[in-house]
Amino acid sequence: MLQMKDLSASWQPRGHGSGGFSRRLSRPYLSFVASALVALLVALLPLSARYGALRAFPGSAGNSPSSFKPKTMEAFSAYVRATDARNNVELQNSKDFLWVDALTEAARNRAHRSLAAGESQIEQRSTLADGRAIPCPDGMIHHWEGLIFVPGARLDDVLYVLEDYDRHSVYYAPDVARSKLEERDGDRFHAFLRFRRQKVITVVLNTDHDIRYFRDGPLRAHSRSSATHIAEVDNAGKTNEREKSRDEDNGFLWGMETWWRLQEKDGGVYVQAEVVSLTRNVPTGVGWMIGPFITSIPKDTLSFTLEATRKAVLSQMKQNQTAVR
């Protein structure tokens, strides 16, 4: 039986034990000093140069394999299938369309007051199979779910923004640097998005997505999006720009699956997004730099996406009202 379980795990760097002082410096101590010097040097560089500097040091993500293996993607696929199955059951049941609907009455009322005040609700999730965690060898699965409320909006107002892929680079800048609708067949879309993600280092990714939209009624809709192509971009924006192969990339994003749910009620639209993504493990030696990027970017990106969606919908509504006048 599939279940959803809240988590509160966070990445923490390896600690260093304390001990007596010695004139002869130990290898761990030398390693610590070297890491500190690298950190200081990188911190002094402009953001655009930090990633290049990181790659120059032995043991960094740029000089070590990203450890991508077929079994990693197989585990991710199993996790996604389990999450899909749970989503399908919930959609067929239609009782708890939004995740806050399944909360106790007191918790649900608190959540709705928070949403009405303009706050977002972000929770970390974990899909279980038969009550057990789904292991992912040589990789990390990140699973987050978020919810916002767009006051005064109609269901079609939100769908207009979500389906307007040619303008996603405007709605979701700077996280989305480029966007283009490649093909549309009714409620099925194929879109290109170039992500630009920055946290100490800057990573640029070219991604293709297959998205399907479904109407669940006059006031409800949901969508299912799968990233069909993900490639890290080397020298982004330069004449020698190129996509790295899976064997040579740094493993910042290997998989991305998204479930959206929209419900119009309470004088606006509730927008819920659930994202499951796959990255490499935190590499040894540069966890102090790569760790925060890998573990915090998924949550930060979801939070930004939801807030940007609300902002874009409200802005579009205002433009439409001005045009009518």
pTM above the 0.85 mark?
Answer: no
Average pLDDT, the chain: 83
- As a whole number of angstroms, the distance between CA 55 and CA 59 comes to 9
What b/e string do you get for 232-244 counting C-beta neighbours within 10 Å, with b at 16 or more?
bbeebeeeeeebe
Q: Each residue of 152-207: pLDDT tens digit? A: 999 999 999 999 999 999 999 999 999 999 999 999 999 999 999 987 788 999 99
Question: Tens digits of per-residue pLDDT, 35-85?
Answer: 444 444 444 444 444 444 444 333 444 444 456 789 999 999 999 999 999
DSSP 183: E
Q: Which helix (H) or strand (E) element contains residue 169?
A: helix 168-171
Instruction: Report whether CATH 3.40.50.300 matches the domain 66-324.
Output: no
pLDDT tens-place string over residues 80-113: 999 999 999 999 987 889 999 999 999 999 999 9
Could you tell me where the DSSP H helices lie in the chain?
27-44, 47-55, 70-93, 105-116, 155-163, 168-171, 287-324
Other Cβ atoms closer than 10 A to 14: 10
Q: At what angle do helices 47-55 and 27-44 cross, to 10 degrees?
A: 150
Contact 187, 163 (CB under 8 A): no
Structural tokens at position 205: 């990714």
Decide: helix, strand or coil at residue 102.
helix
Q: What is the distance between the alpha carbons of residues 235 and 237, in angstroms, rounded to a whole number?
A: 6
Give the number of other Cβ atoms within 10 Å of residue 3's Cβ. Answer: 13
Distance CA 225, CA 260 (A): 8
**Domain segments of the chain as ranges:** 66-324
Nearest-angstrom CA–CA distance, 3 and 261: 19
Q: Say yes or no to pLDDT of 17 above 70.
A: no
In the chain, % helix, strand, coil (3-state, to 5) comes to 35, 30, 30
- pLDDT of 146 strictly over 90: yes
Question: What is the longest distance spanned by two Cα atoms in the chain?
Answer: 80
Residue 230 has φ and ψ, to the nearest 5°, of -135, 125
